[in-house]
Structure 1
């Protein structure tokens, strides 16, 4: 049963990857404009435009174009960037590590913060502390991530001048870990705070449902302390739905990370994605969509495996 469930999850990830790339490919196919103007010049003859489009097989029908691109992509050949003139695989490799570090750091901090605040709300229900947590988290939720990023840049980088406003590292400090961490603080804080309200509410709801189970009353009857019951019994029972929700939100969280990267000029995949969309570098856009969906699918699949490990009862669900 476990292998069957894992196989279903893998099939779903592959289907989503193909569907999303086909949808993106179709939108680019029917969009206005031409890649002949991708380098920002309109001074090109009609013959040169047609010749350039033919060299990229853009004169063929949609399905033939997509199948040609897909077969190459499955072999790891995403083509050449129209703007940079480099292999797209090389462009992605250069920036992939930066995006991975930013996303995983923010995801880990968000997970810990959501659990911690959810436990505090459970320990002190209807208290001033719980109301304050909700007010602050909802205040950050009201602002879009790019607006919150601009506010943080203005306050911490311009007014206080204690944190850098852009980049991955300072020039000449590429190998300095502390310098890299210093540049991660603001983007990570923006990503965490912009998602904290929803994720904390999910954690709180799951903890509250687990706290009302009959085995919790049995634990109190044995004379165990409240903090031990929450950390040992309630948290363990509530982790599965929390992790499942985190996994389901992997793609939307990644897209939010791309937006934050573009605001902070962070040298990751998000900055490359926004730049490619603006300049109609469609081969790079398609490659990034494909890679992003596969990554999100992998983390969703990983979350499902963790849930199966934490809650053996799920293994019997078909």
Structure 2
């Protein structure tokens, strides 16, 4: 990617981020409900309410509030949570690792399932196997992630209780964590008892998030594989006596993955957004669960901080995908 193109892309990301900041700031303030009225007691005097509004800067005009808030955001200060009385930055980044671990586990599951289904369908194209894969894709994609979550709770949490359906980790365990990346740290510390416990809590919400994404990956990769299998290099490999499976895995797969990369990146951002409802279903202590609490409590600084962080993740993932796509495609790299 040329330097000028990269600079233009970075500028567009800054403009996007600013636009998101304006929209979320205005929307949370014109929405009905007064956060001060929700946090103050019924016997408070008008002066108490006025003092509290002044404390959180809500007594100023919306444009002035935005400029003051934006100035703090540029310095990394997202304000103080109205409901939690803590720094928004500390609260948000304290919950972010849990959501990232859940999202990446869901992505890994989706890539494995989707890739396996696509390879099956491409290998036995035109048979009942491909029809079965298409049926799986249709069902997995038509059922939303939160409904998958409810199904898993009923099946594996109630009917056959083999997985935990609430929380992130069993509280009674010894938790010697230094960071909030519990899963990663448990592996590094060789505390595999904690690793298994964490995975036991994460597996069902991760599967609920992964299945719709797996269907998308399967369909896109299957289409790419079927196209690549008719290319010249695949035909040449067949004439050399290589089996169809060898041609698929060693010749076609590496060329078919690249077109799927952009789709996976875009879908991953939607997957992170989907954690909001799924985390609530499983009482998972992540950013999505925190977002719902912030909306219920009309916690304006916390809502703004969470939405902006989601926006940063969205634009960051898309930029990373673009760079990876260019790195894997020499024509774009030198174009």
Residue 122 of structure 1 is matched in structure 2 by 122
Instruction: Tell me the secondary structure at the aligned position of residue 32 of structure 1.
Output: coil
Residue 102 of structure 2 aligns with which residue?
102
The RMSD of aligned alpha carbons is 2.0
Gap runs ≥5 in structure 1:
none
Counterpart check, 1:252 vs 2:273 = no
Decide which of 214, 217, 221 is 1:203's aligned counterpart.
221
**Distance change (3 Å), C-alpha of 1:168 and 1:222:** same
Give the whole-Å Cα distance in 1 for the aligned partners of 2:256 and 2:86: 47
Please list the CA deviations of residues 49-107 of structure 1 after superposition, one character each: whole Å capped at 9, or x if unmatched.
Answer: 34332332223333322221122112111111111111112212321211111111111
Q: Is the 8 A contact 2:21 2:308 kept in 1?
A: yes
TM-score, normalising length from structure 2? 0.88
1:132 counterpart residue number? 132
User: Secondary structure, in 3 states, of the residue corresponding to 1:38?
Assistant: helix
Q: How many Å separate the matches in 2 of 1:187 and 1:152?
A: 8
Asked whether the equivalents of residues 191 and 256 of structure 1 are also in contact (C-alpha less than 8 Å), the reply is: yes
CA distance in 2, matches of 1:312, 1:43: 69
Give 1:165 shift: 0.5
Shift of 1:140: 2.9
Which secondary structure does the structure 1 equivalent of 2:39 belong to? coil
Q: Secondary structure at the match of 1:249?
A: helix
- Name the count of aligned residue pairs: 317
Q: Give the aligned partner of residue 331 of structure 2.
A: 313
**1:215–1:42 distance in 2 versus 1, CA, 3 Å:** farther
Separation in structure 1 between the aligned mates of residue 222 and residue 168 of structure 2, nearest angstrom:
34
Please list the CA deviations of residues 258-301 of structure 1 after superposition, one character each: whole Å capped at 9, or x if unmatched.
Answer: 22111111011111011101110111111011111112222222
Q: Which residue in the other structure is 1:4 paired with?
A: 4
2:72 corresponds in structure 1 to 72
* Distance 1:64-1:124 versus aligned 2 partners, 3 A rule: same
Matched residues in 1 for 2:18 and 2:309: separation? Answer: 11
What residue ranges of structure 2 are gaps of 5+ in the alignment? 177-193
8 A contact 1:219–1:229 mirrored in 2:
yes
Aligned equivalents of 1:247, 1:40: Cα separation in 2: 43
Partners of 1:122 and 1:208 within 8 A in 2: yes
Question: Secondary structure of the residue that 2:265 maps to in structure 1?
Answer: helix
- TM-score w.r.t. structure 1 length? 0.92
State the distance in 1 between where 2:4 and 2:244 align: 40
